[in-house]
Amino acid sequence: MAIVRLEEITRQFDRVPAIENISFEVPDGQFWVLVGPSGCGKSTILRTIAGLESATSGRIYIDNCLVNDIPARDRDVAMVFQNYALYPHMSVADNLAFGLKMRGADRQTQQRQVQAVARSLSLELLLDRKPKQLSGGQQQRVALGRAIAREPKVFLLDEPLSNLDAQLRDDTRAELKQLHQRLGITTIYVTHDQIEAMTLADRIVILDGGRIQQIGDPQTVYTQPANRMVATFIGNPPMNIFSATYHEGHFAIAGQTMPCPGVLRRAIAPSPGQTFDLGLRPEAIAIGSPQSSPPGDLATLTAIVELVEPLGRETLMRLTLPGSPTSFAAIAPGRVQSHPGDRLTVSFDGDRLFVFDRA
């Protein structure tokens, strides 16, 4: 097991930085997830830790040992890719044993480890098969097993679930989490899927344009996003954004008004006429008027229904403010008896309002 520390890592390709000034430290045994849109630099960070890519500048430490100049095979890390990369002519058992064999482990050790890994990943009945006789999910389990069998200090996973169909992805995600809880190997996991990030991570590192936007536990990045990018990337459906102008204690949104909560007024000290992007999560918008004597800064606005999607336990509504082209999402508990085109009252919860500078 190991601590992984990156200090001001930059990697350029043809003088263009793919990642810039990346610093973080993953404590021993934790599960960290690097997440962000395609091209934001996630894989480059992972490959640099693995030693498959060299840093243009900065330092990487594994357990306080500077590894910049240590070749990939000597870093004691195992990497799993989305395309499994199994040896097609070898049986599952031989695939699982491959890393151990390369390290010179004796036959008995190989067999013991293969059995243990096969047991923990439910592969015991598949040991004699070839990769092409396995389903996608089984192949990915073998790829994970091959990495685990080597008992690496660090586990690096690059979009390992993205080739699986939805149901299998959910199941394998849960298995991965349990596996980590059992083995406790320091793990760094790359995904573009914020749901995977939220469900798996001890800490999430959110990246955009090659730079870290925020590092935090899932709850913190959801409730206290550092900026608009994080706010709209984390959450499903994402945070709604409204363009609004500040006037004497109120925001004007598409011709309607919403009081600016006092705490925000003090925090941002807006000047009249200043325009902001206001952020409200779908669950901070209620359908209907506020209940009597609202506890927070609730604002009532008129909205038009665009789409009603019953999800069983709750209803997802897509709405617009009259005269505004941008739609927004609201989640209402239970079933909502509304139809596209209906006009209704919505309440915006000012206690859960975010104010971002205009993008």
CB contact set of 351 (below 8 Å; sequence gap of 6+) = 261, 295, 296, 297
* Near ligand ADP by CB under 6 A: residue from 4, 26, 41, 317: 41
Q: What is the smallest separation between the CB atom of 32 and ligand ADP, expressed in angstroms?
A: 15
Choose between 42 and 153: whose C-beta lies nearer to ligand ADP.
Answer: 42
Choose between 13 and 87: whose C-beta lies nearer to ligand ADP.
Answer: 13
Rounded Cα–Cα distance for residues 34 and 40 (Å): 10
Q: Is residue 39 part of the contact set for ligand ADP (CB under 6 A)?
A: yes
Q: Which residues pair with 4 in a beta bridge?
A: 26, 62
Interacting stretch for ligand ADP, rule CB under 6 A, among 1-9, 35-43, 59-67, 129-137? 35-43
Rounded Cα–Cα distance for residues 252 and 82 (Å): 47
Query: 316-338: string of b/e by CB count within 10 Å (b at 16+)?
Result: bbbbebeebeeebbbbbeeebeb
Q: What is the smallest separation between the CB atom of 192 and ligand ADP, expressed in angstroms?
A: 7
Q: Is residue 87 part of the contact set for ligand ADP (CB under 6 A)?
A: no
Cβ-contact 184, 13 below 8 angstroms = no
* Near ligand ADP by CB under 6 A: residue from 2, 40, 147, 188: 40
Rounded Cα–Cα distance for residues 348 and 290 (Å): 9
Q: According to DSSP H, which parts of the chain are helical?
A: 42-50, 92-102, 107-120, 136-149, 166-183, 194-200, 218-223, 228-233, 262-268
Q: Is residue 172 part of the contact set for ligand ADP (CB under 6 A)?
A: no
Choose between 159 and 349: whose C-beta lies nearer to ligand ADP.
Answer: 159
Q: Is residue 13 part of the contact set for ligand ADP (CB under 6 A)?
A: yes
Walk across the sheet containing 31-35 and list its strands: 77-80, 154-158, 186-191, 31-35, 203-208, 211-216
Q: What is the smallest separation between the CB atom of 12 and ligand ADP, expressed in angstroms?
A: 9
Interacting stretch for ligand ADP, rule CB under 6 A, among 38-46, 144-152, 194-202, 278-286? 38-46
Choose between 39 and 238: whose C-beta lies nearer to ligand ADP.
Answer: 39
Q: Is residue 197 part of the contact set for ligand ADP (CB under 6 A)?
A: no
Rounded Cα–Cα distance for residues 269 and 255 (Å): 22
User: What distance, in Å, lies between the first and last C-alpha atoms of the chain?
Assistant: 42
Q: Is residue 212 part of the contact set for ligand ADP (CB under 6 A)?
A: no
Q: What is the smallest separation between the CB atom of 48 and ligand ADP, expressed in angstroms?
A: 9
Q: According to DSSP H, which parts of 201-293 are helical?
A: 218-223, 228-233, 262-268
* Near ligand ADP by CB under 6 A: residue from 18, 33, 231, 258: 18
Choose between 40 and 197: whose C-beta lies nearer to ligand ADP.
Answer: 40
* Near ligand ADP by CB under 6 A: residue from 44, 113, 139, 172: 44
Rounded Cα–Cα distance for residues 79 and 281 (Å): 36
Choose between 44 and 256: whose C-beta lies nearer to ligand ADP.
Answer: 44
Q: Which residues pair with 257 in a beta bridge?
A: 252
* Near ligand ADP by CB under 6 A: residue from 30, 43, 214, 256: 43
Q: Is residue 15 part of the contact set for ligand ADP (CB under 6 A)?
A: no
Pairing state between β 31-35 and 16-26: unpaired
Interacting stretch for ligand ADP, rule CB under 6 A, among 41-49, 68-76, 277-285, 334-342? 41-49
Residues in touch with ligand ADP (CB under 6 A): 13, 18, 36, 38-44
